[in-house]
Amino acid sequence: MRYREVFQQSIEQPEAFWRDKASWIDWFQSPETILSQREDGHYDWFPDGKLNTADLALDAHIRAGRGDQLALIHDSPVTGTKQQFTYRELTERVARFAGALRDQGVGPGDRVIIYMPMVPETVIGMLACARLGAIHSVVFGGFASRELAVRIDDARPTLVLTASCGIEVDRVIEYKPLVDAALEEATHKPDTCVVLARPQARADLKDGRDLDWQTLEQAGNPVDPVPVRATDPLYILYTSGTTGKPKGVVRDNGGHAVAMRYSMSLVYNAEPGDVFWAASDVGWVVGHSYIVYAPLITGCTTVLYEGKPVKTPDAGAFWRVCADYGVNILFTAPTAFRAVRKEDPEADELAKYDIRSLKRILLAGERLDPPTYDWLTEKTELPILDHWWQTETGWAICCNPIGIETLPTKPGSATVPSPGFDVDILDVSGEPVGPGEQGQVAVRLPLPPGCLTTVWGDPGRFRRTYLDPAPGYYHSGDGGFIDENGYVFIMGRTDDVINVAGHRLSTGEMEEVVAGHPAVAECCVIGVRDEMRGQVPVGLVLLKDGATIGADELEDELVEMVREQIGAVACFRRAEVVDRLPKTRSGKILRRVLRDIADGEDYATPSTIDDPAILGEIENRLRP
C-alpha cells in the first residue's frame, strides 16, 4: 500500500488503523476500545489495554529467542570506556534494580527524578521505573540546581537517581553538589537519593538519605514487570514554556509503545537486529524515544554515546562509532553535522572509516538547512532525510515515510505528514489557508498515539497552550506552509516571523540564503526593532575554518544574495561575524535572547545555555 492510501486510512479510519498497529506489540490485556474522547476534548488511546513498557523493551525479546542479541552498546570517548549488554543481561540488571527501587518504597504511579549522564545506568534506571509502573522524569544532567529544584517540586518524586559526575569533553562536572543544592532549595523533600559513583569524581553521601547505587542494586531481588493501564503515565519530560515555568509533558504507556514501534518502521525503516544510533542525550525527547524506548521495543541494538560530534577527539568521532559497531541508521540534529562540516569541510576524517553498514542518516530537532543537507549528501552519498517533531508529540509529525514509500526529497522540507497527523496551516483567525501560504502549523484532533496526554499537574495549562488557540486542533507553535504537492515546510517558531514595513517575512528563509554562502559555516537571522520599518533582519554569521574573506566584503555579498533570492523587501543590510552562537545544551540557538540583546532590552541568561560568556561577546557586537 502506498503512502497516500495509508495516510488516508489513518485519518478516515483511525480506530481500524491503530488497532492493527497495536497488534505489533505484546499486551497483557489487548485493548477492545481503541479511542475514547475525554471531557476536556482530548483523547485517550487503548484505554482498556494493559501492558508494561519495560516488558516490551526487554522480556519480550527473550521470549522471542533474541536474548543473546546485543541490546545496548555504550561508547564513551570522554572516559575511554566501552560496554555492551545483551537483551538477557540488560533485563537482569533492570529487574534487579527495579527490585532495589521497590525495596525503597517505589511503586506504581510514584515519580522518580533521574539526573544522570550518558551511562548505561541511566537507561537501567528509566527501564526499572517502567518495570514497576513508576513514572520517571529525566532532567538533563548539568542543569542548574534551581532548575532541578523546580522540577522536583513539580513532580514531587519519591526518590532521585544521580551520579557523582558528568563529563563535557574534558571537563568533569560534579553532579552531587548540584543535587544537594537542589534538594536543599526544593520544598518537596524526596526520601532517598541513589548515587552512582564514577571514578572521575567522588561524591559525599548524606547519612539517612543517600545510598550507593552499586550496593543498592546488588542487594535487590529481581522483580517481574507490573501490568499497567495503557493510559497510565510512563514519564514526565519538562520542556521550556513562555511563562518561565517548565511544562511537564506527560507520555502514556500504551499509545507511546504503539507509536514507538510503528515509527521505527515508518520513519526509519528499522528492523529487529539493526544497529540504531540516535546521537542525542537521554535528557531530551530524542533520547527517550530513540535511544531507549523505540529501538529496544523494536528489537534493535541501540548505541548510547557519551561524547560530542567534534573534540572527542576530532571531527571523525561520528564516523568512528558507525564503523566500530556497524551502525545501520544514524539520527542526530543538523547542528551536529554543521560542527563536523566546520572543522572538516572536505570530510577528510570520513575517508578514514568504513561506514558501508550505514543505510541512511536522519536529522531533526531544528530546520535542516540546505547547505548541511547538500554537504552530507555529497560527502556520504547516503539518503539524508529530514523529519519534524516536538517534545510534545514524541515522534515525527512529518517525515519521508520510507517504511511505506520513499518520496523525493525537497531540501528545507520535512516531507509529508506521518500517518495519523492531519496537518493544516491556519491563518490568524484559525482558518486553513491554501498551498504556499504561510501560517500557524496545527494538527487536527485526535492526535495519534504517543503524543502528550496532558501537562503534569496542570490540565488548564494543557488546554490553554495546546487546544484553545485553535479549537479542534493541536497548536504546534510553529509556522510554515504546505506546497502544492503536500510537502510541509517548517519555518521556525511563529515568533521567528518578522514584520518588515507590513510584510511578514521568515527569518528561516533568510538563514537559508545566508547559509548558502561558501564561507559560512552557521548563521542565525533575527528581527530587531527599527523606527522606520518596525523590524529589520540582522544576521549573525560563523565562518568556516580557513575562510579568508573580510567582514565588510562578506556583509556586502550576503546583502546582495538576500536581495537576489528574497528581494529588497527583506531589508537585509547587516551581517555580523561572530566566533560563536549562543545555544542551549541541546544545540538550539537562543533567538529570543538575541532579539532582546539587539533591541536593548534586559535579558535573563537562560539556565539551558551551553556557555554564558557568549552573550557578553554578542552584546558587544549588537550594542556598539
294 pLDDT exceeds 80? yes
- Tell me the one-letter amino acid at 361: I
pLDDT band at 605 (very low <50, low <70, confident <90, very high): confident
* Mean pLDDT value of segment 595-601: 85
C-alpha 41: how far from chain center: 27
Read off the pLDDT of each residue in 29-34 and give the average, rounded to a whole number.
98
How far is the CA of 236 from the CAs of 75, 392, 415, 532, in angstroms?
A: 27, 11, 29, 46
The CA-atom distances, in angstroms, between 486 and each of 4, 423, 435, 515, 523 are: 10, 10, 8, 26, 28
List the one residue out of 508, 518, 524 whose CA is nearest residue 557: 518
Is it true that the peptide bond before 295 is cis, omega within 30 degrees of 0? no
Mapped to the 3 state alphabet, what secondary structure does 89-139 carry?
HHHHHHHHHHHHHHHCCCCCCCEEEEECCCCHHHHHHHHHHHHHCCEEEEC
Distance between CA 610 and CA 603 in Å, rounded?
Answer: 16
Tell me how crowded residue 73 is: count the other CB atoms within 10 A of its CB.
21
Give kind and range of the element (H or E) at residue 542. strand 534-543
CA distances from 283 to 60, 113, 134, 239, 459 (A): 26, 11, 18, 11, 23
Of 15-24, 455-464, 559-568, the range with the lowest mean pLDDT is 559-568
Judged against a pLDDT cut of 90, whether residue 326 lies above it is answered with: yes
What pLDDT, on the 0 to 100 scale, is given for residue 497? 67
Most confident of the ranges 457-461, 501-505, 597-601: 457-461
Residues 525, 484 contacting (CB under 8 angstroms): no
How many Å apart are CA 169 and CA 598, to the nearest integer?
31
The cell numbers describing 84, all together, are 555492551
Cell of 146: 534551581
Identify whether the C-beta of residue 473 lies closer than 8 Å to the C-beta of residue 421. Answer: no
Q: Mean pLDDT over residues 445-473, rounded?
A: 95
Average pLDDT over the chain, rounded to an integer? 92
User: In this predicted model, what pLDDT tens digit does every residue of 126-141 receive, in sequence order?
Assistant: 999 999 999 999 998 8
Record the cell numbers describing residue 583, joined without a space. Answer: 545555544
What pLDDT score was predicted for residue 595?
84
pTM for this entry? 0.86
Please check the confidence at residue 361 and state whether its pLDDT lies above 90: yes
Beta bridge partners of 362: 331, 385
User: Helix/strand/coil (H, E, C) string of 555-591?
Assistant: HHHHHHHHHHHCCHHHCCCCEEECCCCCEECCCCECH
- Pick from 82-96, 433-447, 593-607: least confident: 593-607
pLDDT score, position 193: 98
Higher pLDDT, residue 146 or 99: 99
Q: Where are the beta strands (DSSP E) in 334-395?
A: 360-363, 384-386, 388-389
Provide the CB-side half-sphere exposure for 531 (13 A, CA): 0
CA distance 116 to 138: 8
Q: Where in the chain is the domain with CATH 3.30.300.30?
A: 501-622
Question: Residue holding cell 551581517?
Answer: 575
pLDDT band at 182 (very low <50, low <70, confident <90, very high): very high
Q: Which CATH class is domain 501-622?
A: alpha beta
Q: Indicate the pLDDT class of residue 327, thresholds 50, 70 and 90.
A: very high
- At 451, the amino acid letter reads C
Radius of gyration for the chain, computed over Cα atoms and rounded to the nearest angstrom? 24
State the pLDDT at residue 624: 57
As a whole number, mean pLDDT of residues 581-609 equals 81
Q: Are 388 and 397 in contact (CB under 8 A)?
A: yes
**Residue 581 pLDDT > 60, yes or no?**
yes
Distances (CA, A) of 603 to 264, 594, 595, 599: 41, 9, 9, 10
Q: How many other β-carbons are positioned within 10 Å of the β-carbon of residue 55?
A: 24
In the chain, residues under CATH classification 3.40.50.12780 are 3-307+387-480
Q: Are 188 and 111 in contact (CB under 8 A)?
A: no
pLDDT at 83 over 70: yes
Nearest to 420 by CA among 390, 386, 447, 439: 447
Output 430 or 245, whichever has higher pLDDT. 430
Question: 192 with 212: CB under 8 angstroms?
Answer: no
- Greater model confidence, 351 or 571: 351
Strand partners for 113: 137, 160
Mean pLDDT over residues 530-559, rounded? Answer: 89
Give the span between the Cα atoms of 363 and 146, in whole angstroms.
Answer: 32
Position 242 pLDDT exceeds 50: no
CA 25, CA 61: separation in Å to the nearest integer?
11
Across 376-519, the runs of DSSP E, i.e. the strands, are 384-386, 388-389, 396-399, 416-417, 422-426, 439-444, 454-455, 473-482, 488-493, 497-500, 503-506
Top mean pLDDT of 316-330, 469-483, 551-565 is at: 316-330
Query: Could you tell me if 216 and 194 are in contact, meaning their C-beta atoms sit under 8 angstroms apart?
Result: yes
Q: What are phi and psi of 139, to 5 degrees?
A: -110, 130
Sign of the CA dihedral running 155, 161, 167, 173: positive
pLDDT in tens, 200-221: 999 999 999 999 999 999 999 9
* DSSP summary character for residue 465: I
For 508-544, how does the pLDDT look when each residue is reduced to its tens digit (9 = 90+)?
878 988 999 999 999 999 988 876 577 889 999 999 9
pLDDT in tens, 148-178: 998 999 999 999 999 999 998 989 999 999 9
Percent of the chain with pLDDT over 90: 77
- Residues 162, 175 contacting (CB under 8 angstroms): yes
Q: pLDDT value at position 331?
A: 98
Length of the chain: 624
CB atoms within 10 A of CB 472: 11
State the residue for C-alpha cell 497488534. Answer: 23
What are the strands, taking DSSP E only, across 243-389?
A: 247-252, 275-278, 301-305, 329-332, 360-363, 384-386, 388-389
Q: Regarding predicted confidence, which is higher, 611 or 2?
A: 2
Residue 35's H or E segment, with its range, is strand 35-37
3-state DSSP call for residue 317?
A: helix
Grid coordinates representing 326?
556497524
Assigned CATH topology for domain 3-307+387-480: Rossmann fold (3.40.50)
